[in-house]
Structure 1
């Protein structure tokens, strides 16, 4: 016989709207607790893939987990929403060309949820969102379901029929399943009662501390975390630009500076990518441009670093023998994952392919095929061994482990632009000769 707690977990019905890089792992982790989870997505191929027990994204151990919970019947996927006890919204929140945040996906997801809401349900927004978005979800639900008492919209001592909260993820690609469970969570409720109800849900699968606050504070906390990281990366990237001008090895400077007990400079790169750090700071800037000059400058420095790398790479390719193939190592926004969202490496490769066409070779061990932009430009996907055998020019854009493992003797004589500092032993420029290694 099941214990009361186990029976309660089995009886819980959860809908996760959005089966992307966060939604699918979240759905699978919840399903592992014994809850009945329905993942809803707008893409039929995603639904079919999940229902077959497979995954459409690369993440450590996710395939095995999804296969297991689907086989047990704890997780299934659909294009259509169904009634449940808890609704988790995990859809994208991109920005427009002017960096204005687009919460259209969130509001459309909330509209879908509204159709099946009933008293006692909990709605949780996990999508990274501008401050005030959870309140907009609340207002939308209130307008669509006037029959329900919505939190923050009830008079006197009346209790709301539903709970609405905000709880952003704090995970690192490649460690999502571990960090969904172990990391602390900030849970912001429309009311304290909403926060407590969401807290009881996360306690089912989160081992980290769960701290409750207001929805607005939780929204700003998530944006603050990523803006903080962006500012620190911008300092490292700006140092790399200064080092180029001054003829100094930025990697050595950072290594030496970090010997100071109160200094911890991050590593520079070709820019900043991913759906979080490259996007979220703009939500703060857009909300209050007057009081966010530092955050804006950090975004501009990191975006400008990509332009700098493009210029360096273009100069290196132009100086190479006519027609010589060029290897771009990596397209992902960080090491050892298949996520190309907002990737500076992809942007560099696309720019080079647009200019140099079929001279460009792409080495990306996490891509079964090239993105259409690169394929249409004439670029070709090859492996690292072929690149080392055939390409005299190497441009390191991502620090995948397989690239780090290449010894010096296999790189001898190559013209290298190492934007990640993974090959510190690569010969440096010699006065009066063309540089073989360029710092970024």
Structure 2
């Protein structure tokens, strides 16, 4: 059965590019989002996120009539759910647990428009078992339809999980080129998912079961989190021993079987900083290394803030006529990684907020990829050149390309990325 109309629920950093790729292949695509600003922006042929080349694809798809955005789901042949999976609130020291309320809400929203022959695919990064839970929510909402957990291959509606595996800043290319892992609740669910994704995916679509597909994404990001934790821990060790960690890593990586990652101010984004907790929350007794890596990376922002406090003290010693409230600090970068505008779980944003809170003087924020700062930060967003000219202490948090060509001279620098050292 062909898929003539495709619905993508959640038009964020994954949902919108996915919707655009289907539309670019002349499929009718209905994007669904509760954010009215996003809906209106997309329907003008514009985008509300920063992602290279995506603006041109969306503009063409909307102009040609293949893509539209709505607030309420409409009938379609395939539904892809790409909504956030945050944590539930927890006390300090507790293991965060995943919050599936957005998946549940999306499931209940599409349930009224489901029909026999449809397929629902969960793309949201999810804890193991989430796809089965989604199928249960759909079955509860539509008792007139059958689902795989009820009748297996003969289900009216097929269910599968296919995690996104793309790098922000390269999403358009990687959506097409990367292999996809597809886990259906039945063989038919998997095969129909492959048929759908092959609309634009040139990489291989590898079939497994739903639980393994869910665990694949969590495993990939947990592995990287552990590797980053090693680099971050190494940076703190080297600081204690007065060793340049970036030179050390460069030398160590000359060995043919060593590939140490680069340290930074922590780990951010809605993947690496989040996904390992999904594993730890399910298997806390077994996931000891993954848990410890999370603790190391989550502790790095505090370490950076302590370095800023030391920098303030050093500045006052060098300038005895100055007071703390006369010192200006510039924080370079708010995004969770270089050359994007994504602030989700960003350690740079967290550090900047804390500096604004603790510092008695003025704090400048420099982020070339956004036009305004979050409303809960009482600081000014300024240009790179102004920050370099006017700040007393410079805190490098994100290695955006724009920062590499401009460097403060004869100033106190806290460089978490090693680009000004």
**What is the TM-score when the length of structure 2 is the normalising length?**
0.95
Q: Give the count of matched residue pairs.
A: 408
1:291 corresponds in structure 2 to 286
1:437 corresponds in structure 2 to none
Q: Is the 8 A contact 1:36 1:75 kept in 2?
A: yes
Structure 2 residue corresponding to 1:33, chosen from 1, 7, 25:
25
Structure 1 residue corresponding to 2:136, chosen from 139, 157, 172:
139
Q: CA shift at 1:342, angstroms?
A: 0.3
Q: CA shift at 1:152, angstroms?
A: 2.5
State the alpha-carbon separation in 2 of the partners of residues 187 and 27 from structure 1.
Answer: 18
Structure 2 residue corresponding to 1:362, chosen from 344, 361, 365:
365
Please list, as runs of the form range in 1=range in 2, the aligned pairs for 1:168-207 lying within 5 A after superposition. 168-207=163-202
Q: Is the 8 A contact 2:327 2:361 kept in 1?
A: no
Structure 2 residue corresponding to 1:224, chosen from 208, 219, 244:
219
2:339 corresponds in structure 1 to 336
Q: CA shift at 1:145, angstroms?
A: 1.3
Q: CA shift at 1:389, angstroms?
A: 1.1
State the alpha-carbon separation in 2 of the partners of residues 314 and 402 from structure 1.
Answer: 26
Q: CA shift at 1:423, angstroms?
A: 1.8
2:302 corresponds in structure 1 to 307
- Is 1:125 matched up with 2:101? no
SS at match of 2:26: coil
- Is 1:350 matched up with 2:353? yes
Q: CA shift at 1:295, angstroms?
A: 0.4
State the alpha-carbon separation in 2 of the partners of residues 257 and 43 from structure 1.
Answer: 47
Q: CA shift at 1:214, angstroms?
A: 0.3
Please list, as runs of the form range in 1=range in 2, the aligned pairs for 1:408-419 lying within 5 A after superposition. 411-419=408-416
1:239 corresponds in structure 2 to 234
- Is 1:279 matched up with 2:271? no
Query: How large is the RMSD of aligned CA atoms in angstroms?
Result: 1.3
2:318 corresponds in structure 1 to none
1:436 corresponds in structure 2 to none
Q: CA shift at 1:336, angstroms?
A: 0.5
- Is 1:87 matched up with 2:79? yes
State the alpha-carbon separation in 2 of the partners of residues 325 and 125 from structure 1.
Answer: 47
Instruction: From the superposition, tell whether residues 185 and 238 of structure 1 become closer, same or farther in structure 2 (CA, over 3 Å).
Output: same
- Is 1:397 matched up with 2:389? no
State the alpha-carbon separation in 1 of the partners of residues 312 and 9 from structure 2.
Answer: 45
Listed one character per residue, the Cα deviations across residues 320-345 of structure 1 (whole Å, up to 9, x for unaligned) are 24212111000000001000100000
Q: Is the 8 A contact 1:26 1:180 kept in 2?
A: yes
Q: Is the 8 A contact 1:358 1:380 kept in 2?
A: no
Between 1:306-315 and 1:85-94, the stretch displaced more is: 306-315
1:432 corresponds in structure 2 to none
Where structure 2 has 5 or more consecutive residues not aligned to the other structure, the ranges are 91-95, 316-321
State the alpha-carbon separation in 1 of the partners of residues 136 and 393 from structure 2.
Answer: 56
Listed one character per residue, the Cα deviations across residues 332-384 of structure 1 (whole Å, up to 9, x for unaligned) are 0000100010000001100000112551001111120121122xx3x111111
Q: Is the 8 A contact 2:8 2:79 kept in 1?
A: yes
Q: CA shift at 1:207, angstroms?
A: 0.5
1:266 corresponds in structure 2 to 261
Listed one character per residue, the Cα deviations across residues 36-89 of structure 1 (whole Å, up to 9, x for unaligned) are 000011111111111111111111011111111000000001111111000000
State the alpha-carbon separation in 2 of the partners of residues 286 and 197 from structure 1.
Answer: 32
Instruction: From the superposition, tell whether residues 357 and 112 of structure 1 become closer, same or farther in structure 2 (CA, over 3 Å).
Output: farther
**What is the TM-score when the length of structure 1 is the normalising length?**
0.91
SS at match of 1:173: coil
- 4+ residue segments displaced more than 3 Å: none
SS at match of 2:359: helix
Q: Is the 8 A contact 2:46 2:58 kept in 1?
A: yes
State the alpha-carbon separation in 2 of the partners of residues 106 and 214 from structure 1.
Answer: 19
1:324 corresponds in structure 2 to 327
Q: CA shift at 1:136, angstroms?
A: 0.5
